[in-house]
Structure 1
Amino acid sequence: MNKYLLVGEKNRLKINRYTDNGVYLICEDKDEVLLPNQYVSYAMKEGDEIDAFVYFDSEDRIVASTVFPKAMLDEFGCFEVVDVTPFGAFVDWGLPKDLLVPKALQKFPFHVGMKVIVRVCLDDETGRIVGSQKYNEFLSKDFKNLKVNQEVKLLVRERTPLGFKVIVNNLYDGLIFHNEIFENIEVGDEKIGYIKTLRKDGKLDIILQPIGDKSDEVAVSKIVEILSLTGGRCEMNYKSTPELISERFGLSRKAYKRALTKLIDAKKLEVNDEGMRLL
């Protein structure tokens, strides 16, 4: 259990006492925080430990919630702008109180309905949770725990002439080159990717398919899964165009053809001039 209340993070807290307004949760240093009635269930009882998110409500009181936001402290998320004011904009991050992105922490003017990539952080002056678009200084260039072909979590943050910039594991700056993308991808998408290159400039080159044998396994699984959803048949074969392969299976032509051969050798697929079918 936490020794102190961690604002903006998940806390492991103990149910201490019931009141008319909800349940008070406590951590080891005896700090209490209210879990409002809307989050209290009949299964809860005094002494139980639960996971709760701690933040400031609309009246700037520290409260707890059993509903977690789309991103917590020091994490990145893609949020929709729901209100714009002279001092900043509010985005929907999944809690009753929307997240403020102060005007000083915006890279460009926001408008309602826009989706933006921001980092959840604490304001140095107020200690309140805010969102920021100015997060490059928080992206690490320390790659000592990373290796080539390592699986990573991605948040697509920006389209550029070279490719799509991505946030890697909520900590690193990465790029997926356009010529190595074989599936639909948009800003705000969350993807699984693989490290291709650890660059000397402190950035990562990322691909969406693993390298080597693991790549073949992924391609085989993807073809089988998609064929299974279409009755086990498809009009495509070895002669299909790279564009059609990319659109249908999200694979390069090379990976696609290797996967077909593996499936044929395993007697799981038949391919001819009319198309393919699962056996």
Structure 2
Amino acid sequence: MAQIGKFNTLEVVSIADFGVYLDGENLDTILLPKRQVPADTEIGDWINVFIYLDSEDRLIATTDKPLVEVGQCALLSVKDVNKFGAFLDWGLPKDLLVPYGEQRKPMEVGQRHVVYLYIDEYTQRITGSAKLSNFLREESHNHQTGDRVDLMVINRTDIGYKVIIDELYLGVVHNMDVLQPLKPGQRLTGYVKQVRDDNKLDIALQLQGQEARDDISARILAELERNGGVLNLGDKSSPEEIYAVFQTSKGNFKKAVGGLLKQQKITAEAKRIVQVKA
């Protein structure tokens, strides 16, 4: 079945002066305007298109790629505000409406907000919502400590940063686990630090425990190989210098270096590590 708010591969069923009509299956025929029709298109060809409603609430197809699809979240800019709500730029000619009832706080022109796209049950229009907890789960029975996850940053709070996990869940990166400033909309990799008793997720931005030390040790050795056996980092290097190379805390870096020293794989100075050749 063809879906509004997503890309669909549809068959050309007729050709007109102003474009081609595609078989929208359950959605009937849908126009793809002439300027977007690939050259030499014929009846029976299949075209990958995004389906949405135009300014007159008619179904329309486009080969343009929006910044986000239905069922996804994205950081979008507010272009206009009127009596209906805020209108956000999502990369298509018709801006995305976020009604006042779907705003966590009043949106203003020029601001950027993380929103979730859904189909309004009554109008069938693609609509945005900043009330993410209405669409994403706050508890997970599918994650375990140490799981690698994909993250999108939502916003900062007193305790850390709210994040979207694997496009489906909400979680928190606590201040103690933040090694650099994060920005709303930023995408990065994280790890489940803890599944709490209420099944909510705490997220870390780096591996934990022995697994973390093993990972950093391997990366230190790889970096030494790339740099002729010498790495200009050590015990007296700043946390910022260490994070720039390994995206980890100074504490984890020092533990990994200690392990490599015990294995006699390196020698270490204040700001220099040298690989011991076998």
Q: TM-score, normalised by structure 1?
A: 0.82
Aligned residue for 1:245, secondary structure, equals helix
Structure 2 equivalent of residue 68 of structure 1: 65
Aligned partners of 2:232 and 2:272 also within 8 Å: yes
- Aligned pair 1:199/2:204, yes or no? no
> Among the aligned pairs, what percent are the same residue?
36
SS of 2:35's partner is helix
Matches for 1:42-191 after TM superposition, within 5 Å: 42=39, 44-141=41-138, 143-191=140-188
Contact 1:226 1:249 in 2 (8 A): no
More divergent stretch after superposition (212-221 vs 165-174): 212-221
CA offsets 1:181-202 (integer angstroms, 9 cap, x no match)? 2233112211221212222334
User: Which ranges of structure 2 fall in alignment gaps of 5 or more residues?
Assistant: none
**Pairing 1:32–2:44 present:** no
Deviation at 1:152, TM superposition (A): 1.8
Secondary structure (helix, strand or coil) at the match of 2:253 reads helix
Q: CA deviation at 1:218?
A: 5.2
Structure (1 or 2) with the larger CA radius of gyration: 2
- Determine if contact 1:74/1:120 at 8 Å carries over to the other structure: yes
Offset from partner CA, 1:89-120 (integer Å, 9 cap, x none): 11111222110111222122222110111111
Q: Which moves more between the two structures, 209-218 or 181-190? A: 209-218
227, 235, 245: which is aligned to 1:238? 235
Cα RMSD between the aligned structures? 3.3
* Cα distance between partner residues in 1 of 2:192 and 2:181: 19
CA distance, structure 2, for counterparts of residue 62 and residue 229 of structure 1: 55
Letter in structure 2 aligned against 1:7? I
Closer, same or farther: CA 229–183 of 1 in aligned 2, 3 Å: farther
Q: Distance in 2 between matches of 1:271 and 1:13?
A: 62
Matched residue type, 2:4:
V
Deviation at 1:221, TM superposition (A): 7.3
Supply the distance in 2 between the matched residues of 1:224 and 1:114 (Cα, whole angstroms). Answer: 44
Instruction: Give per-residue Cα distances to partners, 1:174-223, cap 9 Å, x unaligned.
Output: 00011112233112211221212222334211111234565356546766
Equivalent residue for 2:15?
Answer: 18
Cα deviation for residue 130 of structure 1 reads 1.1
- TM-score, scaled relative to structure 2: 0.82
Contact 1:172/1:203, CA 8 A, preserved across alignment: no
Matched letter for residue 60 of structure 2: V
2:150 partner letter: K
Alpha-carbon distance between aligned partners in 2 of 1:277 and 1:32, rounded to the nearest angstrom:
68
> For residue 251 of structure 2, what is the aligned residue in structure 1?
254
Q: Which runs of 5+ in 1 are unaligned?
A: none
Aligned residue pairs, count: 275
How many Å separate the matches in 2 of 1:224 and 1:113? 46
| 1:21–1:225 distance in 2 versus 1, CA, 3 Å | farther
Contact 1:209 1:218 in 2 (8 A): no
- 2:18 & 2:260 partners in 1: Cα distance? 61
